[in-house]
Structure 1
Amino acid sequence: MRYGTLFLLLAALITPACATVILVPGQYPTIQAGLNAANPGDTVQVSPGVYVENLTMREGVTLRGSGWHNTTVDGGGLMNVITAPYGVLNYTIEGFEVRNSQQSGSAPGCIGIHLNPNASSGTKYVRDCWVHNCGHGIQVWNDFGGTANIEHNIIEDNLYDGFSPYLGTVNLINNTIVNNSRDGYNDWSGGGMVYIKNNVIAGNGRYGIFPHPSTPVQISYNDVWNNSGGNYMSGSPPQPFTPYPGTGEISTDPMFLGGSFGYYPSWGSFPVPGPSQSPLIDAGDPAVLYNDPDGTRADIGALFFDQTQHNVEVTITPTGLWVVPPGGGTLNYTASLINHEAAVVTCHSWVMVQLPGGGSYGPVLGPLSLSLPGSASITRLRTQNVPGSAPPGEYMYTAHVGIYPTTKWDSAAVPFTKQSAGDGSYSLEDWFCSDEAASPALETTALAAAEKPAMAATPNPFNPVTAIGYQLSAPGHVNLRVYDAAGREVANLMDGWREAGSHQVTFDASGLPSGTYFARLCAGNVTQTQKLILLK
């Protein structure tokens, strides 16, 4: 009996602790404080916001933001923004905007994300990040036998190179590496196996892909275009080379959507093929492993064009004369959405304004995330403010329904006129639209015919932080947003790719009043809503 007790005691001592989710700023005020408290297997979940920090990763930890459009790590112009130093071999960094490292000087010290394991093992992931306005974008150093997976990142506008590896195995897959002042890819010293696949590498100031002659590099299904000194260069002095194996390589204008929508591929005539379709769409590796979240063949680049199609109609019926006086005014109208299908459809609705001089502005409404019951229609009365600072001329007010921002299933447009005055010095806040929110009843519509991802919030009721866990039966694109009782979006907690299994995000309601909120999870074509009670 005594030996059995001793055995159980020893087993308890050597059994690893259960992985935990550490909430920033809910439990720790800074990201680094959360990392310092983390053990291998833990996740540091960072709520939306701007965090001025220079971070050091910990072994075995997942550092997860709430999407690069929500969570920013700003290096303050000092050192690297995120560093994984010697001995830190296994980790994940995902879902951040990473910006403003030290801008000059030698590396390391001026890098957005710097991985430097100095070891012959380990697996690293950097994905779903936007790295810009740093000295270098992402670098991997001294990875003598490990694997670095660099996936679905936007790496742009950095002072030197976009991405640089040294040794180890590198999978550079589905990234958009553009407009860096020197090279898109720069392998300066030779080493391990590098796979460059499904990337856009364009508009960089010197070379597109510049590998060391001794590095075995496999290059396929990329769009390498318009790099100032050449697309594929190697050696000293640099000479053009033919990419190997070169399968699926293209070199053409990627036709990004542009403007506020950045690096999404465009397709103006969707679903009809034509000259408005970006060459990136369905041009990636055809293996099912790389398929886009909508199930179609992989697009090239970090962001994909969602080809989901549904028969949903949008209409706008103006009330009165749509002429705005010099000092500004309002446009009144009735908006309707009609689901012509028998099943529930999840979608977005948003409104853009075409300006007198051309170009598109907005969205001035939305995007609203909706679940439309089968064969249902929804009608709302809305009032759109037009600021006096808007320049005079003829405008077009256009409502869209589909998958924001790329995919438009239907559109409805009404012209209006703005009279004289106006200097164009307005912001989106000046174009507010009353009754903007979707109906709370609509948001909580049950999806009886669909298999739901399991979702639960703990604690609930809560004050002021709760953890929302969800279970995915298959990998896919996940969007998790929180709305107040009026249907206004108050937080975007997750917007990105997730593997099958259990996941958890944090909702920090420190800045919100007590009341009822709704967490809405969209995974593929399936949606679930969870009621949340905030008690302060």
Structure 2
Amino acid sequence: MNRTTLHVILYAGFIILLLAGGVTAQDSLNVTMMSRIYAHWLSTEDVAVSGDYAYVASTGLRVIDISDPAHPVEVGYCLTPGFCYDVVVSGEYAYVANNYDGLRIIDVTNPSNPVETGFCDTPGRAHGVDVQGDYAYVSDYNWGMRIIDVSDPANPVEVGHFEHENLEDDVVVSGDYAYLAAWGTGLRIVDISDPTDPMQVGICDTPGWALGVALQGRFAYIADGDNGLRVIDVMDPTNPFEVGSYVFSTSSINAYDVAVSGNHAYVVTGGSGYTWYDGLRVIDISNPSNPDAVGYCQTPNNALGVFISGEHAYVATQCWGLRIINIADPEEPVEISYCHDNGYIYDIAVSGDIACVTDEPAGLRIVDVADPTSPVEMGIYDTPGDSREVAVQDHYAYIAEGNAGMRVVNFFDPANPIEVGSCGAIGDVESVDVSGDYAYTLSQGLYVIDVSDPTNPIRTGYYEGNWYYETDIAVSGDFAYLSVCDGGLQIIDISQPSNPSYIGSCNAGWLRGVAVDGDYAYVTDQDGLIVIDVSDPSAPFQTGFCDLVSCTFKVTVSGSYAYVSAEYGGLRIVDISNPYAPSEEGYYDTPGGALGVTVSGDYIITASNNNLGIYQFSPPNLNITLTPIDPPVQIPANGGSFDFNITLSNGASIPQTFDVWTIVTMPDSTLYGPVLGPINLTLPDTTSIERIRTQNVPGGARSGTYTYMGHVGVYPDGIWDSDCFTFEKLETGDGVPIANWSNSGEPFEMWFTETQEATPSEFGIKSIHPNPFNPTTNIVFSLPVAGLVTLDLFDIAGSRVGVDLASTRIYPPGTHNILFDGSNLPSGIYFARLTAGDYTQTQKLVLLK
């Protein structure tokens, strides 16, 4: 059972798992994952045990062979798109609460090869899960409890929900009732005898934060944060009441989860403030009205989840994996083994076919990336500090090692990398770059280090800045470009290495990463990518900005694209061909948080804390053609309309998702619109389609020459292709009076009907994209045979919204696309329901305005 940590999670990673391929599909645009290597644990949230295996909720689901509890061995791993918070095993399946990615159902028939078979997205953040019969019960954080029919594990469907004003973190089901740990409101009891209509029947408030719940007999046991263990009599579900409690003597100890076996409750705890570890506490509950602590086993970090099986407690710890504790004597619990790895993939630099990867605190890993689909670790060097950034030149890696300064590692023999030199630091070395005979590091200022002899690096120059914290450095020619959290972009003249000097700066925000190409510097901040003109280093100025979805981290530039690591926003790719209007053209929601990024040939490599990922970007190959049907187009004075043909072509070998829109350039060169769209579409590979549209021109429009222009790309600034034609608004002439710039014509509903796809093998909603959306999205569904289809939309309360998304009619076999426009609806959660004969499927949509 799960609980939410009340303090900042400190990430670290563990074991070396070399895993390439076998990747769960992630949200992406124009980017494909080729492979990945490593799968560090990072934080471990919960554990369930079934037979000889423990199933650990972490960065994915990990399967541990515990047939010999003294020697646990990880035997299987299933990557999930989100972070796992809770897991329960029932029969041949593991059910995982996957935070923002809802409920994931994983087939564990073969423990060495667990495979996701189905999922059901939820509107909130799935934090807890329990299963009874054909239903899974998901505590969805701020969206209450969701009840999901899992009778068909490949197609789970939500059938009911219970919502209230507080957060939910854990759920246990017994008989006709679900027992919810509901943060600040304690224990809530919900009648689930009718899964489609769950109803709250009882509540018992607790003084702390109810984070975990367990049942035994007539009592519920609540892990209540800093108020310890609460014992609640639930014999009468409509009138639960507290009968006893045990509060820890130290207020900085929080109870996160609880399991009960016999006369003992096993409570896992963690610290807050300066207490960053605790452990397993054993509490005697033979007298429920007077529980008393009898045993304790410390863990190396916060203990977050617990499962009891036989004489062992299996404890999930925040940054130290799975701990196995012998509880044969509850008064003397003793840890007998553990299973975890140790790593945090931080940065990446490439030389030829060799990638140098910093893995804090493991050191430097040398990876052969000659085959992007199958990277192979060649060697590793354990550095003395915490490896952070890395730069390479020839066959040397220069590593920023925190308090251990800068280390130089020779990887000429990839199987046997060896340190050949070092340069101590004053402070904490976070960033490094190398150019020619010099390396440049940041540590309370800029250090210039002579590395003409890599075995004897010598500090030759220093520039002390008047800023608080530097984050990254890029060297180009005679200048070093520093991204400074509180000082923007700082440009330092390094033409005299022994005497670096300030030359210019641009206060561009709270910066994190920097790359330089030609006359421009590209820096990242909390919101996106900033482009700065540095053609005159003494007077740099911002030219453009591209808003990205997440707090960005590092950036590298290759050709006309900037590649940005955006931590938990993944990999973002920005077209910088126009420095005044950079636009995003691709992304991949990487597993793990993308920290470091580099480009090697046709591939992008990311250091994503728990893995190293290799990706390929396929620039959009889309064309738009606008052709007036009866040229020349002339509009009379009181208004009129013209017909035109719009043709869209995808020349790429993969489907392309994009926006299409049209705008009007007025006679005075001002822009008006969009008058059509933006409409978000997905066009299959090597496909062209065309539609005939009608554009109205109002009588109030001034006379003169207009340009009608169509764009495809990412609205409004990401323009991948354009086409246009002109029309004339006359000073005279009669016509049908027109009041506005409305656009109509052949609908954009059935974009996919012209493709030559193979007939699908099953019914179903294939995708909803984009999702979240504003205001339009595409609902793609498949039919193996012709049939009567209804596609409806419901709001979060279950009320049908407006008219059918698509008219109820017979659809031919194939893949079909419906464009849904939510312009007239408020932001919120909606559900699309597809009905085809006896088949029904529901999927969530999120409208964000």
Q: Structure 2 length as normaliser, TM-score?
A: 0.27
Q: Structure 1 length as normaliser, TM-score?
A: 0.39
